[in-house]
Structure 1
């Protein structure tokens, strides 16, 4: 075990595959371990041994456990591991995946996923539950609409409109709704109300997070960044200094254009949509409201947004503002300064040093 310098791990629910190599890159062992035996085996590894795994379910849990043992635990995004699988897509199995993770971790330019803390993952649980409840609420509303449409009762496509007239439809004796259908729709409405109560509970937890966390509180000051977005950004990223600059943060969120450039000719396409889909969606949707109301404000960002909307349309302006907000978020969080809508940045490379005359 003292010969091992790097370990690649393929995580699963019950069986964990490990691929260990020495300093020369020669395989020492490639074996499957049960969950209980995995930690015992890792405890025998040399101190500061590199143990890498894919970013998947329970990866952050295992990374924290391994770090507590004095090991150098790393997490790698799955799309960065697959190119190192020697057998390609046709040879995917646990042993080959563990070997690919081990090989990917040896690359000097490899990018690793920061390990999330327990508090970060706890807050993200609230966001995951809230998103799931929103989908359930939409399904419940559509189910009620479909049932009513079967009896010739069609309502405007708005949850507010449905909520306002639903009680009247259930109690109206002149429509064609049979007694059984009335009971079913009443039960569906109760489910809708229950889901709304659960979403309200999640919003209360998010509001408490904003109140207690200074970074989240600073993020809410940006135009187009509300409490949900601010809480999700802080809980997902944690330490913003892991990114070199705001452009790198925007690229990590998938808000930069795709490239298919060659021969000195730049060919840009739509955004890459890499990174956290939930966080990117929140930033873009939050920017939409700011774009639609930009003409009512006179600060530099709003003027730029309105001009871009008139030139390229509100969709492109919305994504551009989301990217700008991502860069501003990075600057605000790393420098610890509150957001100023009228701040004018200065490129240090363009400034000139004035030397007084002798």
Structure 2
């Protein structure tokens, strides 16, 4: 029995394992706990270990790589077509092993501890921002039921609530007044936690050369730079700049058949968080870039003059920024804000 590819369907406690030989025949089929799996892999001759890129896969992948194995992580959506008949854990592991043998399969790079740490910070910050938004919406609803209305905007609501708590409003009962004060205190606590994470991101960006290069790109701030480096590293898994934009779901979704191309809205595939950050960054940078005398500014002016919807221009700019990000990471280039005006020169990246 010679295992060439070991397919693993990861679980919280137990994992299903299927080993195949050079001909693709199944030669081993077992279910074991995680620690038993690690010990089992350590006794195997060097082989390919395939897993879906899910929670815990990067940790196990680093352990298997340290044992000398070749680790191949794949997106679950690419594994699904290789699962035959009824779905169960053994079938999933067998499909993972078969998918890993395909020469055209796309694999996910193993993330380092530092990348996972940065991703964790972003996820915690995203949760805190969501909690703050929910709290603000609830606070507006409470005050609206009492006839107290503030203009739109977080800062205006913040000033209005602080003034109301300081002066006192007769329309509010003593208990509701106290409750609003408690909500405002919770709001301040969330602001402090989010601010601390923002400061940590700034320090991370200052100490990393790749992140500093990314922050030189218009529309790419500290949050974008740290999240992109944590997600794609040096972008070595993308052969071309356009591949990064496609991976982020910033390109049109194609539904072509019979030789007739048909392009729909953007695909919205890949990392939603990264795509959101890039789109917001592009929206913030659009006014200044569209007025600049640069190839990028000329490209934006041409789209605006053709009557392209502003949201479409923003998404197109976000896709362009993703391509520039690829150049900055892959070729270690810094964005030059004063590059000469050559029509559509930016298309090269």
- Which of 184, 187, 193 does residue 189 from structure 1 map onto? 184
- CA apart distance, 1:347: 9.2
* CA displacement 1:158-198 (0-9 Å, x = unmatched): 11111111123234445321111111111111110000001
Question: Paired residue for 1:13?
Answer: 12
Q: Distance in 1 between matches of 2:160 and 2:180?
A: 13
- Greater Cα shift, 216-225 or 331-340: 331-340
* CA displacement 1:282-316 (0-9 Å, x = unmatched): 11110011223334322221221133134212111
Q: Distance in 1 between matches of 2:129 and 2:346?
A: 42
Question: Paired residue for 2:331?
Answer: 335
- The answer on whether the counterparts of 1:7 and 1:18 sit within 8 Å (CA) in structure 2 is yes
* CA displacement 1:22-63 (0-9 Å, x = unmatched): 11111112221012211011112111x011011111111110
Q: Assess, with a 3 A threshold, how the Cα gap between structure 1 residues 198 and 18 changes in structure 2: closer, same or farther.
A: same
Question: Paired residue for 2:78?
Answer: 80
- Does 2:219 match 1:237? no
Q: Assess, with a 3 A threshold, how the Cα gap between structure 1 residues 174 and 302 changes in structure 2: closer, same or farther.
A: same
Q: Distance in 2 between matches of 1:144 and 1:314?
A: 32
Q: Distance in 2 between matches of 1:273 and 1:149?
A: 36
Question: Counterparts in 2 of 1:1-358, with a 5 A limit?
Answer: 3-47=2-46, 49-87=47-85, 91-311=86-306, 312-341=308-337, 342=339, 344=342, 345=345
Q: Distance in 2 between matches of 1:167 and 1:347?
A: 50
- The answer on whether the counterparts of 1:85 and 1:96 sit within 8 Å (CA) in structure 2 is yes
SS at match of 1:25: coil
- CA apart distance, 1:259: 1.1
- CA apart distance, 1:339: 1.0
Number of residue pairs the alignment of both structures matches: 343
Q: CA RMSD for the aligned pairs?
A: 1.7
SS at match of 1:108: coil
- The answer on whether the counterparts of 1:287 and 1:322 sit within 8 Å (CA) in structure 2 is yes
Structure showing greater relative contact order (alpha-carbon pairs closer than 8 Å, 6 or more residues apart): 2
- CA apart distance, 1:335: 2.0
- The answer on whether the counterparts of 2:248 and 2:270 sit within 8 Å (CA) in structure 1 is yes
- CA apart distance, 1:80: 0.1
- CA apart distance, 1:271: 1.2
- CA apart distance, 1:86: 0.6
Q: Distance in 2 between matches of 1:231 and 1:219?
A: 9
Q: Distance in 2 between matches of 1:208 and 1:171?
A: 36
Q: Assess, with a 3 A threshold, how the Cα gap between structure 1 residues 167 and 337 changes in structure 2: closer, same or farther.
A: closer
SS at match of 1:293: helix
- Greater Cα shift, 245-254 or 197-206: 245-254
Give TM-score scaled by structure 1 length. 0.92
For structure 2, list consecutive stretches of 5 or more residues without a partner in the other structure: none
Give TM-score scaled by structure 2 length. 0.94
Q: Distance in 2 between matches of 1:292 and 1:175?
A: 44
For structure 1, list consecutive stretches of 5 or more residues without a partner in the other structure: 349-358
- The answer on whether the counterparts of 2:296 and 2:346 sit within 8 Å (CA) in structure 1 is no
- The answer on whether the counterparts of 2:252 and 2:266 sit within 8 Å (CA) in structure 1 is yes
SS at match of 1:7: strand
Q: Distance in 1 between matches of 2:163 and 2:203?
A: 37
